[in-house]
Structure 1
Amino acid sequence: FGSEEVWLITVPSSSPPTAALPLYATVQIQFDQNPEDIGMKLKNRLDGTVLFDRPTSSYGKSLAGQTTHEVIPIYSTNTGDQTYRFTIEDNNKDGLCCSNGYGSYELYIGDDMEGQPLLSGSIFNSKETWLIEVPFSSPPTATLQSQDGDIYATVQIQFDQNPETIGIRLENNLDGTALFDRPTSSYGKSLAGQTRNTRVLQGKQLMK
């Protein structure tokens, strides 16, 4: 955990004390060559509380090409169903891609080593927004909120035991623009046997 860890202790009158761990979201982001252009925010939609806010310029140039993790305490579902809005933005208006190098982001409910990401992305225009629902009695879901003019292709790949040997590329056949490029060695061994979905934006700003 970060600087502190908080426990909710419930002491019913007719049973022994119980403890519920707080719930965390983990954002993993691999930066392109301009981390200073990237900003992220997570907000609870029910009460308006901003739980995480990294404006653009929060990340320094020294993080170019590197991966970082942000751990965000969020509300326990003991307080009922929760809804959040996650937004990632880019001052350069091309997301984590293209002429500035290739990066990506993923958000997990819980630890990023425990399972599949709830949402992920790489290429977008000035920003990308997700609606995250964390119900009390069912698995969490994430829905991408469409932006005007955005057109996506989705690449889904289920890796074998050697994801590091796989590379994928999508390019425009008319002008040769690379819209998505993951050379071999882009995917780590930890993805062995897992499925990864990645959206590829084909909006006008990336087609120039």
Structure 2
Amino acid sequence: MYGASTMGSLALEASNDNGATWTSVWSKSGNQGNSWQPATVDLSAYLGATVQLRFNGVTGTTWQGDMAIDDVSLSEGGSQTTCTDVLLTLNFDNYPQETSWQIADSNNQVVASGGTYDTQPDGSTLTITECLEPGTYTFTLNDTYGDGICCAYGNGSYTLTSEGTTIASGGSFGTSEATTFTIGSPSARSLVTIDGTITTKQLEISAFPNPVGKDRLLNVIVSKKDTSYEIVSILGKIVMKGKLVQKTINTSALPSGLYILKLNPGGEGKYKSFQFVQE
């Protein structure tokens, strides 16, 4: 995505109802530079289901923009690192050309940055999405004049969010303002911490033994009470479902094979694969 900051947006969308509705699972907007930008998208929410994917490119208000997509592949989980989207919304003051930002990892290596925004209209809004691997980061917003983005010369502001949690926000500062935050591990993807404080709850899962055999009981430890479950075959068929009451599921009715355990499938769903071997 190379061109002006107002060139438009590109999104990857998913549908599990044969194209009746689409949900954005990844997106970028604005100028991303003239080199390839790799991205990894977590599709674990669609395990056990049939899913359609499409790229949706929307042109902006300028002719100065090119988009290209290359080397698209799907892989089964485990070896790849799951990244988590963070969403930066910039509401500019009357001097967008003074504003820049960056995200640096725990080794002080810059993993994402933008600005200054010379071509952005005064008082306009820009939304940027970055996908970060698990780790600790520092977000810094800069103003070259040293008067922030609010409120002497326009009512600018910014918000950095991830999975519905506000990581940083503001507008009234001097030369720069920084916030440190942590994106959780792939197995607890909803965990986001800001300056060491956990800000979202997670649904922890442990399922064992794997493979299941002998006594044919799958032991499940979960941090939430009264959890419902579904067991789905690799063909996407629900073969068992119910309430997790005794922290065990009797799998004796299942033929040998690979299955997906879905916990709380109607809400904040979490997934775990396991193998059952008849003995």
Task: Report the TM-score range of the alignment, normalised by the length of the smaller protein.
Answer: 0.5 to 0.7
Structure 1 position 5, deviation (Å):
4.3
Residue 126 of structure 2 aligns to which amino acid in structure 1?
A: T
Query: Hey, what's the Cα distance between the residues in 2 that align with 1:141 and 1:122?
Result: 21
Distance change >3 Å, CA 62–CA 44, structure 1 → 2: closer
Matching of residue 87 in structure 1 with residue 136 in structure 2: no
CA RMSD of aligned residues (A): 3.0
Higher relative helix content: 1
The alignment partner of 2:155 has SS state of coil
**2:132 equivalent among 65, 69, 74:** 74
Structure 1 position 61, deviation (Å):
4.9
Residue 30 of structure 1 aligns to which amino acid in structure 2?
A: N
The alignment partner of 2:145 has SS state of coil
Query: Hey, what's the Cα distance between the residues in 2 that align with 1:101 and 1:128?
Result: 18
Query: Hey, what's the Cα distance between the residues in 1 that align with 2:131 and 2:145?
Result: 29
Structure 1 position 116, deviation (Å):
4.0
Structure 1 position 140, deviation (Å):
1.3
Residue 98 of structure 1 aligns to which amino acid in structure 2?
A: C
Structure number with greater Rg is 2
Structure 1 position 4, deviation (Å):
6.2
User: Which residue is 1:34 aligned to?
Assistant: 95
Higher relative contact order (CA 8 A, sep 6+): 1
Higher relative strand content: 2
5+ residue gaps, structure 2, are 1-26, 29-36, 45-75, 197-279
**1:139 equivalent among 177, 191, 194:** 191
- With normalisation by structure 1, the TM-score equals 0.52
- With normalisation by structure 2, the TM-score equals 0.40
5+ residue gaps, structure 1, are 11-16, 145-208
Does the CA-based 8 Å contact 2:97-2:117 persist in structure 1? Answer: yes
Matching of residue 44 in structure 1 with residue 78 in structure 2: no
User: Which residue is 1:151 aligned to?
Assistant: none
The alignment partner of 1:105 has SS state of strand
4+ residue runs of structure 1 moved beyond 4 angstroms?
A: 7-10
Query: Hey, what's the Cα distance between the residues in 1 that align with 2:43 and 2:154?
Result: 47
User: Which residue is 2:85 aligned to?
Assistant: 24
Structure 1 position 106, deviation (Å):
0.5
Structure 1 position 28, deviation (Å):
0.4
**2:161 equivalent among 85, 90, 108:** 108
Query: Hey, what's the Cα distance between the residues in 2 that align with 1:141 and 1:94?
Result: 29
User: Which residue is 2:40 aligned to?
Assistant: 6
Does the CA-based 8 Å contact 1:38-1:91 persist in structure 2? Answer: yes
Residue 67 of structure 1 aligns to which amino acid in structure 2?
A: T
Does the CA-based 8 Å contact 1:105-1:121 persist in structure 2? Answer: yes
Query: Hey, what's the Cα distance between the residues in 1 that align with 2:120 and 2:138?
Result: 28
